[in-house]
Amino acid sequence: MKSCCRLWVGGAVLVLVVALVSCGSQFLSGGKLHYSQGRYDTALMNFQKAAEEQPDNGEVHLWLGRALAELERDEEAVVEIRKGGELDPLQTEMMQNTLISFWSKRYNSALQYAQQAAEEQDEQAQRDILEKARERFTRAIIFAPDSVQNYSNLGKVLYQLGDMDQAMAMFEKSRTMSAGRPDLQRFLFTLYKYFGSQALQIDDATREDYERAIKLLGDAETIPMPPEEMLEVDYNIATAYYAMADKVSDEEKPGALDKATEYYLKVLEIQPDEPDALKTLAFVYSDRKMHNEAIARGKQRFDLAPWEPEPNVLMHQLYKAAGDDKMANGHILLAQILQNGARQPAGTARTEAQAAGPSSDAVKVLRDRGEPREVRTFQGGESSYSAWFYWTEGRIFLFRAGKEQARIAFKPVGEEQVRKIMG
Q: Indicate whether 320 and 352 sit together in one domain.
A: no
Total domains, the chain: 2
| Residues 348, 308 share a domain | no
Nearest Cα to 153, choosing from 126, 183, 113? 113
Interval 45-59 mean pLDDT = 95
| pLDDT score of 2 | 40
Q: Is 296 part of any domain?
A: yes
Do 360 and 316 have their domain in common? Answer: no
Task: Give the mean pLDDT of 45-66.
Answer: 95
Whether 409 and 361 map to the same domain: the answer is yes
Domain that holds residue 311: 279-340
367 and 324 in a common domain: no
Average pLDDT value for residue range 236-242: 97
Kindly state the average pLDDT of the residues 188-197. 88
Given this model, what pLDDT does residue 423 score? Answer: 81
| pLDDT at 339 > cutoff 90 | yes
User: What average pLDDT does the structure give for the chain?
Assistant: 91
CATH number at residue 348: 3.30.1450
Regarding whether 365 and 327 lie in a shared domain, the answer is no
| Same-domain status, 283 and 328 | yes
Residue range 65-73: mean pLDDT, rounded? 97
User: What is the structure's pLDDT at 24?
Assistant: 57
8 Å CB contact between 163 and 133: no
Mean pLDDT of 155-168: 90
Nearest to 233, CA basis, from 248, 219, 253: 219
DSSP string for residues in 175-193: HHHTTT-HHHHHHHHHHHH
In a domain, 264, yes or no: no
Contact 134, 161 (CB under 8 A): yes
Whether residue 307 has pLDDT greater than 60: yes
Q: 169-192, pLDDT tens digit by residue?
A: 998 898 888 877 888 888 889 888
Q: Domain of 316: which CATH number?
A: 1.25.40
**Same-domain status, 333 and 389:** no
Final residue of a structural domain among 340, 358, 390: 340
Is the pLDDT score of 7 beyond 60? no
Q: Is 4 a residue whose pLDDT tops 70?
A: no
Please report whether residue 109 resides in a domain. no
379 lies in a domain? yes
Q: Is residue 297 part of a domain?
A: yes
Local structure of residue 4 (DSSP, 8 states): -
pLDDT band at 305 (very low <50, low <70, confident <90, very high): very high
Q: Is the pTM of this model over 0.85?
A: no
Over residues 274-296, the pLDDT tens digits come to: 999 999 999 999 999 999 999 99
User: Is 139 among the domain residues?
Assistant: no
Q: Is residue 114 part of a domain?
A: no
Do 350 and 411 share a domain, yes or no? yes
Beta bridge partners of 81: none
Terminal CA-CA length for the chain? 29
Q: Write down which residue in 340, 355, 382 finishes a domain.
A: 340
Question: Looking at the domain assignment, is residue 377 inside a domain?
Answer: yes
Say what the alpha-carbon torsion angle 151, 154, 160, 164 is, to the nearest 10 degrees. -50
User: Which of 340, 370, 392 marks a domain boundary?
Assistant: 340
Structure confidence at residue 5 (pLDDT):
42
